[in-house]
Structure 1
Amino acid sequence: MSDDRKSSKRPRHPGYFNRSKDKSDGPAARHFGPRKAAEKNPDQLWIYGVHAVAAVLGNPRRTVLRLLATQNAVARLKEEGANVPAHEDVAPRDLDRLLGAEAVHQGVAVEVAPLEPLALDDLGEAKLIVVLDQVTDPHNVGAILRSAVAFGADALVVTGRHAPAETGVLAKAASGALELIHVVEVPNLARALDELGDLGFTRVGLDSEGDHVIEEAMGGERIALVLGAEGKGLRRLTREKCDVVARLDMPGAIKSLNVSNAAVLSLYLARRHLGAPAKG
C-alpha cells in the first residue's frame, strides 16, 4: 500500500450547501459539531483524494487557489488525465495536519472557491433531476451525486438549509461527481416543487409507504425524483406536492433502503423511461 493512502475510516463533519452569512444558521450552531479547521472559511474549501481533485482540475467553473501534492499523487493525477498546474510538494503528514488524520487524502488536496449554486430557471432543457428533502449526511449525498451523474441526471436540487455543505467530505464521497452536475439551491422546497410542476416535471416521491410501485410511477417527458431524509422520509407537505408517491417493492424482511441506494434504483428506472441521455 502506498504511503499516500490513509485509513478507510471516514470523516464525520457535515455542514451545509448554503453559504449563509448568518452565523446563527451555520454548522457550529447545529448539533453536528464544528467543521475541521481547514474547512471553516465559507469562501474557500479543501477537496482531497485523487479522483475528486482530478475532477476539480478539469472543471472550468472552479477557481483553484492552491494545490498540495506528493510526488506519487502528481503521477496519479497525470494518469487520470489531469492537467496539473503549479503545486506545492508536501509529505502525507503535512496533509494529515491540514485535513485531519482521518481524511482519505491519497496525498493530494486542492483549495478552491465554492461553486455557485444555480436557480431553477437555469435548468434549461433538463429532463431528469433529483430533489433532496432534508437529506443531511454528506456521504449519502456524495453517493447520490455519483449515481446521478452515472445515469445522466441534469441537476441536484437542495434547500438552503438542512443540506450538507460543499466540503471535502462530500466531494470525496462523490468521487468527482460534484464537478459534473449542477446543484440548484432553493429557499423553499414546496414552492420549488410547484415550479417544477409548472415546468412540466412529473414529481415522483419515494416512500416505503407509497401507494404505487415505482416501476409504474414513471411518466411524462421530464422527471423529478424526490428523496426524503434518512429515517423520517418525505415531509408531509413534500408528499402533497408530488404527483405520485411510489415505493420500492421488496420481498425481504427489510422494507426500506438507505436513501443513496433508493436513489440508484429510481434513477435507473427513470432513465429507462426517458431513454438514453443526449450526447454532449
Structure 2
Amino acid sequence: MEILFGLHPVTEAVRVRPKDLDHITVLSGPTNPRVAALLDLCRSARVRVSYGSREELQRMSRSENHGGAVAFLKERKLLTIEDLIHSGGDAKRFFLALDGVEDPHNMGALLRTADGAGVDGVLLPERRSAPLSGAAAKASAGATEHVRAAKVTNLVRSLEELKKHNIWIIGLDERGTMDYDQFDFNTDICLVMGREGAGLHDLTKRTCDFLLRIPMAGAVPSLNVSVAGAVVMYEAARQRRVKQRPADEAPAKASKPRKGLGS
C-alpha cells in the first residue's frame, strides 16, 4: 500500500485517483479552510475519512512533517518507456530523465518543476534512484499525481531507444560545451539530470547528443540538481512558448538566431 502525506499530495490524490484510495486520516481537532476543503472533496469522491492524533499521523507517515493529512491507497502503476514514446499528438516531445537522483526532496522538486514546465514524461531508473515515496510526493506539492512517470530497467538503453524515435538526448553537465540558453530546445528532446554531487554517470554522458552547462559567476562550480533542472526546463519551456506565439503577438525586437540542432 502507498502512503502519502501532506495536504497538497493527499488532496491531489483524492482529485486524480479516488478509486485507488482506501481512506485518509486527518489530524483531529479544529479544521482550517484547507482541511475543510479536503474533507468536502472526500465526501464528494466518497473517500473514507478517519481522525488521529499528531503522534498517530507521525507514526503512520513516518515523518514529523505530515502536514495533518495521511492517505492510504493502492500502489500506483508506472508507465513504460513505450507508453511515453507513443503518446501525444504532433507536438514536439519534451522528456526528463533522472540519472541517479537519490534524494526524495530533489526528486519531488524536479517533478514539481516538470509538471509546471510542461514536460511530457519522466524516466526513472529502477536502481539507484529515489522512489516515488510520500516524501517525494510532499516535496512535489502533489505533482507526482500529474506527471507521467515511467520506470526503466536500464536508463542508457532507454535513452538509446528514444534516439531511435528521433529524440535528442541533452545532458546537463558543468563541463558541457554549450551554455544552456544558447541551445535551441524547439525539437524533440530528453533532458538528463545527474546525481547529487557526482552528476551524470560516464556511460550516460557518452550517450548524450549534447552536453550543456549553466555558467556560474561565483566560486561554487554548480547548482543543486533540482535548481539546475528548474533553470533549464523553464528555459526550454520559454523557447517553446515564444516559438508558438502568433506573429501578431511577437515581441517588437526579434532575438538573435540561436545555434543548436541542425546548425
TM-score (norm 2): 0.82
Note the 1:132-211 alignment, pairs <5 A: 132-211=98-177
Contact 1:131 1:225 survives alignment (8 Å): yes
User: Which of residues 250, 254, 269 is equivalent to 2:216?
Assistant: 250
Structure 1 residues 148 and 219, CA gap change in structure 2 (3 angstroms):
closer
User: Would you identify which runs of 4 or more consecutive aligned residues in structure 1 move more than 6 Å?
Assistant: none
Contact 1:152 1:277 survives alignment (8 Å): no
Contact 1:218 1:269 survives alignment (8 Å): no
Contact 1:117 1:183 survives alignment (8 Å): yes
> How much is the aligned-residue C-alpha RMSD, in angstroms?
2.2
CA distance in 1, matches of 2:143, 2:243: 17
Report how far residue 93 of structure 1 moved: 2.3
Contact 2:4 2:61 survives alignment (8 Å): no
CA distance in 2, matches of 1:186, 1:277: 32
Structure 1 residues 218 and 238, CA gap change in structure 2 (3 angstroms):
farther
CA distance in 2, matches of 1:276, 1:165: 35
For the pair 1:216 / 2:177, whether they are aligned, the reply is: no
| Structure 1 counterpart of 2:251 | none
For the pair 1:53 / 2:10, whether they are aligned, the reply is: yes
TM-score (norm 1): 0.77
For the pair 1:66 / 2:27, whether they are aligned, the reply is: no
Note the 1:21-36 alignment, pairs <5 A: none
Unaligned stretches of 5+ in structure 2?
245-263
Structure 1 residues 98 and 110, CA gap change in structure 2 (3 angstroms):
same
Q: Which moved more, 1:230-239 or 1:214-223?
A: 214-223
For the pair 1:274 / 2:240, whether they are aligned, the reply is: yes
Q: Which moved more, 1:141-150 or 1:74-83?
A: 74-83
CA distance in 1, matches of 2:114, 2:39: 23
User: Which of residues 71, 95, 120 is equivalent to 2:81?
Assistant: 120
Contact 1:56 1:62 survives alignment (8 Å): no
Q: Which amino acid aligns with 2:169?
A: R
Structure 1 residues 231 and 88, CA gap change in structure 2 (3 angstroms):
same
How many residues were matched structurally?
Answer: 234
Contact 2:107 2:226 survives alignment (8 Å): yes
| Structure 2 counterpart of 1:110 | 71
Unaligned stretches of 5+ in structure 1?
1-43
| Structure 2 counterpart of 1:234 | 200
For the pair 1:87 / 2:76, whether they are aligned, the reply is: no
Q: Which amino acid aligns with 2:10?
A: V
| Structure 1 counterpart of 2:34 | 76
